[in-house]
Structure 1
Amino acid sequence: MAAQSRLALASERLEPIMDELKSRAMTLGINGYMGYRRNYALIQRILQVSYFAFIIGSTYRGLNPKPKKRATPSKAGDGLQKSTGSGEKGERGVERTKQAVNEDAGSADMSAPSSGRGKRGAKGRGPRVEVDAKFFEQLRRIMRIIIPSWTSKEAMLLAGHSIFLVLRTMLSLYVADLDGRIVSALVRAQTRKFLLGILWWMTVALPATYCNAMIEFLQSKLALSYRTRLTQQVHEAYLSDDTYYQLGNLDDRIRNADQLITVDIQKFSTALAALYSNIAKPILDVSLYNYQLSRNVGAEGLIIINILVQGSAALLRAATPPFGSYAATAQKLEGEFRWAHSRLIENNEEVALYRGQQSEKNAIERSYFSLIKHINRISKIRIGHGMVEEGIIKWLWGSLGLVICSIPVFVKLPGMGGRGSDMGSRTEAFVTNRRLLLSASDAFGRIVSSYKELSEMAGYTARVSSLLDTMDEVKASRFEKKLVSSAGTEENAAVLRGRGRVEESPNIVFEEVPIVSPNGDVLVPKMSFQVTPGEHLLIIGPNGCGKSSLFRILGGLWPVYGGVVKKPKANEFAYIPQRPYLSLGTLRDQIIYPHTVSKMRARGVTDEDLLRHMSIVSIEGLVEREGGWDVQREWRDALSGGDKQRIAMARLFYHKPRYAILDESTSSVTGEVEERMYEHCTELGITLMSVSHRPSIHKYHKKVLQFTGDGRFSFRDLDSKETERRQALQEEKEALEEKLAKLPQMRERLEAIGV
């Protein structure tokens, strides 16, 4: 009882205090509400400014993400050579080796990142492609190429595109307001206003359709201009300084450069042009539509709803798979599938002779089904992602939109109609706000969806950027190449760490130069010899001993890992292989390649001069037989092997270089033609370096460089007696072979006589 008395006494004492607190709270609430009403316009302005500052800040942070911390790279291992040097450009050599790439079918193309989460793909194929600081760094570099200045054609197209995007948004705002007025007139049964609204609706259709058509046109023009700029830049780098050769032979990072140049650049350009419209337009729409909505329904509700939308959008982004990695892997697998077909076309004769079509079919189908399996996997992933995306964007955001549209109906806002408004006013407000909200929701949905497109474009960007980066590395003579196992020995490793020097000289001089292939195979540890003008050099030795490697070093195609190479300029060399290259073009173009007709005329050379060159090797009849100088054919198919070699000889006579490398270049012609070719080259002052197994050509040479095949060589004068002895032995060999060929016929005759 005493306790109850004390509680009652305390309650009586607290009651006045609670009443006073309630009174003060009510007073503060009323004063706050009145202050809110008095300063409603200022508060709305502050909220609007804060909201749009938040949008701008979020957009900026989204487009400029902070770089992620990278894991410390592991120590280098054996297997992949990273070399530096320049041949004619400076020193060459090997800096270091690093971890070998995976030896599966896809690992050679390091330019194409693969799918998967984390720092490596699911199968270890490469790093994951993300929309991160690295992506934007790569994109900015490419943007500087495709939009070189603010006054460029691309910048003007982009400005025009932006103007039409703004005009379309302004027209959409007007159409939303017009739609509300038309429905209001319909509800109020105001015939005149309704018909006038329909008339304005049809009038607005003219500029609206023109804007839409121009946006699509300018987007396609932008994509084409981007592709043109980027392709020209890539061609400039790829087709200069032997980059196309070095990329395919001295480096393993890019295996299918043709697909990167022809397909990936086109896809990147198209995606970039579309992405600008898909991001810039929605951001502008969201800003303007939300601004208009904030004026119609108040900024408070709009901000609350947008917080919920931003949260759901963050959830959607978190649930978005790495489509950029998937796109990069798909492009890589497309390239491997195409490469498998190109490889078959390139080696079709050998495959046909071996009857290897089933084996090649298996290889091609493996690459195809790898591509299909990956595409099917992406399609299945898109099902779940599409359901989540539609559920959030269409249904969740749609319900939130209805809540916003109901605010002016159920809540009377300062300066706006509310419960007391008539049916027509409420209908007009609802329809206008509903249309604005649908447009804003659609724009925001496109912003969220564009993250997926941005992720896919990150894959294209990574591939194009890898091509540009690798070409820059190759031009600086920094190569990455898979090494042979013998490169790990202490002796060979010492050779690979060396650096050579290239100097200009009228003579060809090798001073302790190792002959090393790009994969680290040391063919000759040190080679020294000298060739002066007029001293024809014969090079002999077994296959794989280093003869062709020597020519590639002379041509500046392969690195020099030690010693000194002295030689004339590259344009004073000519190279004639066993199967000469015939270009696309006319018959005349085959003789003067790589010169043009105008350059030929500037040198004072006429068609009659070319005909004389051809007559020396007995192919002057080709001009009449094929239909004249200007006829165009696929010459590699139209001419026989002997005719191709004679064309190459006539080409040599036309250019008259200081030195010529003949690599089995007379194997398909008669001895008479071969003799005339060597004699005429001597008359023209061309010093020949010949590789041939024919003893008949020994008499035209003064020096011989002989490879033994075990890393050793000998360089000596070619003795005339030795030449005569070899010639006699060759003639005896041919006579014996002819008799042996007749032996079966003699046996048949002998058996016939015995019967």
Structure 2
Amino acid sequence: MPKPRFEFNRKLVFHFIETAQPYFFPTDFRQSWVFFGLLGILVIAVISFTFFLTVSLTLLGNTIFPEFFGSVASGLVKNVNGLLSSNIPYIALAALLLSGLIFVSQQAKIIDKWKQWSLLGCLLFLLFIVNGLNVILSYVFRFIDTSLNEKDATVFWQFMILYGIVLVAAVPIIVSYRYLRQKLGLLWREWLTKHFIKRYFDHRAYYELDSNSINTEVDNPDQRITQDIKAFTGVTLDFILDILDSILTLLSFTVILYSISKELTWGLLVYAAFGTAVALIVGSRLVRINYNQLRLEANFRYGMVRVRDNAESIAFYRGEELEKGQVLDKLIDAIKNFDLLIIWQSIISLFQLGYNYFTRLIPYIIIAPLYLKGDLDFGAIAQASVAFSLVLGALSLVTNRIQDITEFAASINRLGEFYESLNPASFKKEKSQTRFITTQYKPEVSLRKVTLQPPNSDRILIENLSLSVSSSSNLLIMGASGTGKSSLLRAIAGLWNSGDGIILRPQPEDILFLPQRPYMILGTLKEQLLYPNPKNEISEKELKKVLKTVNLPNLLEQVGGFDAEENWENVLSLGEQQRVAFARILITKPRYAILDEATSALDVKNEEALYQQLSDMRTTYISVGHRPTLTLYHQQLLEIFDGGTWEVKGIQN
């Protein structure tokens, strides 16, 4: 069982970049510095733009309302004029132009990613505005409290009006910020989910990661795609913006706090460092617990889904007690781990509550003596308290969000492992396997000295098999259960390659595989018949003819037409499903058909009619079956025995 620790080591950073970067910049780890450089440049561009906007609005306001700004915001106007007389405007302008040029130089790599960069830039801009409004409000409340203490009604009402103006401006800005934050997270989740789904279906990764197949190290890929990605995108965006918000708050209010009390500022830094250290120590334990909780919850959900998918078989066997016990065992495992989780969460909550409650006393302990001596005005107490709380919150980001951070670290590890497992090269890393069956594309199926083994096993299913299958030598494969009949079909289909030898076969589109229990898709009757080629253009008249050919002439009327959507696995019997699968062959007209007991649920008469259709259509077929009647439709027989031995002989009909 994996036991990740909470440390920002190289592997964790690698997993984070591998998952987060592609939405904004192509994944090239040699150029990751370019991606992070662009993020920094975007911040600089937003700062420069915000500077010019702030200066412009201040000068415009001073021009339109000179008396108001002269009495209420004279300090702001003075500071702005001082900035304009310095080199800062030139630096900001140069930074803005340089940022634009750098983004233009990377246009080829981000041409299709303009939306996410634009939204991220807007969020950063709004974050700067919100932070600036917080600074303004801290001074507004300072002057309001001081005017109340001095009973100065004129100043009090002036700043109450200013507070109202700031409030009216702040509400739509904050709402817009929250909306864009969620919107960017939603778009990121959509893109990343599609990206993972594409990789999941490419190179048959979904098959390789199946619990019954080769790679069983990555559990519950469905949860990693549906839930872990959702959590990752939302939390990553939150952390990026919260970290930047903390930095802005730290820069803005540390200056205010330092101007009020140097002792308070240094005491704050020591207190925050202590809280962060304790949180990291406790958090290292939480990462493994959260990681296990995600896995155990997914196992429990999978157990319930498995019961639903196999409800009829369980009912026939009367296996309710066993299935219930297995599901309850998975539930108990999840509950036990969650019990451990809430214990550690309670320990962290206890520390966080004490940590946060004690912070309310510190500003008063340090500031009150200064006020009582007359060194500070009354409003400075409130402003210092607000500044202290905001700066402490910025420095205590890890302390206050350690539970989120541990869940985030677990999510990064799970997605990183999953992403690596979707690399086609990872499917060939079986430790026990040193040889592979080679597949070559040729017009006919031919096996040359093929030795077949199960994945991750040294067991020999078939050894040194050679044969050819042509239109005049359709092959029937027989043998006792467990000797490797279906496994050989998997090898011909390219699903298994453990072993040695060469398999020659047509291109994938020229072969159609029919399992014993056909796959019934979610969709209409027409889509069922056209599967796996939904774009196949065929008239409904021809489809009706095909249904008649496979002895389903009344199916169309029974279900209500080709556009009817049903739960086909329940509506159709197994025999009807097998005939629908044969209809797919008649529609697709493949060069080869591979039938794994594909007529086991049919009577002999229907079986004969369907095989006759394959012969008339000149489709070459390879069948696995046990019925003696199957020999009537084939020209050669491969019989497989225990221990990997086999015999090929002709069939005389």
Could you tell me the TM-score, scaled by structure 2's length? 0.82
Corresponding residue to 2:133 among 171, 183, 198 = 171
Please give the secondary structure, in 2, of the residue aligned with 1:633: coil
Matched, 1:708 2:641: yes
How many angstroms apart in 1 are the aligned matches of 2:9 and 2:129? 32
After superposition, the Cα gap between the structure-2 partners of 1:435 and 1:648, relative to the gap in structure 1 and judged at 3 Å, is same
- Deviations along 1:243-299, one digit per CA (max 9) or x if unpaired, are 1111111111123111111111112222222222332212221221002222333x5
1:220–1:273 CA contact under 8 A, matched in 2 = no
**Pairwise CA distance, 1:231:** 0.7
Q: Which of 485, 497, 500 is matched with 2:434 structurally?
A: 497
Q: 2:286 aligns with which of 323, 334, 346?
A: 323
Question: What does residue 587 of structure 1 align with?
Answer: 525
Question: Does 1:246 find its partner at 2:208?
Answer: yes
Query: 1:144 and 1:438 mapped to 2: Cα distance?
Result: 33
1:650 Cα deviation (Å)?
0.9
Contact 1:278 1:447 in 2 (8 A): no
Residue pairs, 1:212-611, within 5 angstroms: 212-248=174-210, 249-297=213-261, 299=262, 302-303=265-266, 305-395=268-358, 397-406=359-368, 408-409=370-371, 419=373, 426-472=377-423, 474-480=424-430, 496-520=433-457, 521-596=459-534, 599-601=535-537, 605-611=538-544
Q: Which has the larger radius of gyration?
A: 1
In 1, Cα distance between equivalents of 2:279 and 2:646: 69
Q: Deviations over 1:15-57 (max 9, x none)?
A: xxxxxxxxxxxxxxxxxxxxxxxxxxxxxxxxxxxxxxxxxxx
The secondary structure found in structure 2 opposite 1:379 is helix
> For 1:587-621, what per-residue CA distance to the aligned partner results, in whole angstroms no more than 9, with x for missing partners?
1111110222xx222xxx21111222221122132
How far has the Cα of 1:128 moved from its partner?
3.2
**Residue of 190, 195, 201 corresponding to 2:157:** 195
Question: Which residue is equivalent to 1:43?
Answer: none
Q: 1:195 Cα deviation (Å)?
A: 1.9
2:6–2:284 contact (8 Å) kept in structure 1:
no
Partner SS, residue 594 of structure 2? strand
The aligned length equals 565
Matched-pair contact (CA < 8 Å) for 1:145–1:229: no
Report what 1:488 is aligned to: none
Distance 1:308 1:127, change over 3 A: closer
Alignment of 1:614-625 (within 5 A): 614-625=547-558
> Secondary structure in 2 aligned to 1:630?
coil
Question: Any idea what SS the aligned residue of 1:557 has?
Answer: coil
1:306-354 CA distance string (max 9 Å, x none): 2354244334433445222222111011111112112222332332222
Aligned equivalent of 1:679:
612
Distance 2:352 2:174 in 1: 26
> Equivalent residue of 1:710, what SS?
helix
Amino acid at match of 1:545: T
Deviation, 1:407, is: 7.1
Q: Distance in 1 between matches of 2:309 and 2:219?
A: 15
- 2:476–2:637 Cα contact (<8 Å) kept: yes
Are positions 1:133 and 2:97 aligned together?
no
Question: Aligned partners of 1:222 and 1:131: how far apart in 2?
Answer: 26
Following superposition, the deviation at residue 664 of structure 1 comes to 1.5
Aligned partner of 1:145 in structure 2 is 22
Structure 1 match to 2:97: none
Other-structure match for 2:567 = 634
- The CA RMSD measured in Å over matched residues stands at 2.2
Superposed displacement of residue 420, structure 1: 5.5
**1:547 to partner: Cα distance:** 0.7
| Structure 2 partner of 1:644 | 577
Alignment CA distance shift 1:162-1:408 (3 Å):
farther
> Which residue of the other structure, out of 642, 653, 665, is the alignment partner of 2:598?
665
Deviations 1:515-569 (A, max 9, x none): 2112413212221111123321111111111110010001000014211111111
Query: How many angstroms does 1:300 deviate by?
Result: 6.3
Q: Which runs of 5+ in 2 are unaligned?
A: 26-108
Letter in 2 for 1:322: R
Say if 1:625 and 1:385 are closer, same or farther in 2 by CA, change over 3 A.
closer
Q: Distance in 2 between matches of 1:319 and 1:560?
A: 46
> Which 5+ residue runs of structure 1 have no aligned equivalent?
1-106, 108-112, 114-125, 411-418, 482-492, 721-755
CA deviation digits over 1:637-666, x for unaligned, max 9? 111222111111111000111110112112
Shift of 1:408: 5.0
Report if the CA contact (8 A) 2:304-2:327 is conserved.
yes
In the alignment, the residues of structure 2 paired with residue 616 and residue 212 of structure 1 have an alpha-carbon distance, to the nearest angstrom, of: 66
Contact map agreement 1:131 1:455 (CA 8 A) in 2: no
Structure 2 CA distance for partners of 1:595 and 1:385, relative to 1, 3 Å: same
Whether contact under 8 Å (1:536, 1:702) holds in the other structure is yes
- Tell whether the 8 Å contact from 2:364 to 2:385 is kept in structure 1 after alignment: yes
Q: Quick one: structure 1 residues 572 and 426, their matched pair in 2 at CA, closer, same or farther if it must change by over 3 Å?
A: same
What one-letter code is carried by the residue in structure 1 that aligns with 2:487?
S
CA contact (8 A) 1:534 1:682 kept: no
User: Could you say if the C-alpha distance between residues 319 and 646 of structure 1 is closer, same or farther in structure 2, counting changes exceeding 3 Å?
Assistant: closer
2:308 & 2:347 partners in 1: Cα distance?
41
CA distance in 2, matches of 1:477, 1:320: 34
- The one-letter amino acid of 1:507's match is E
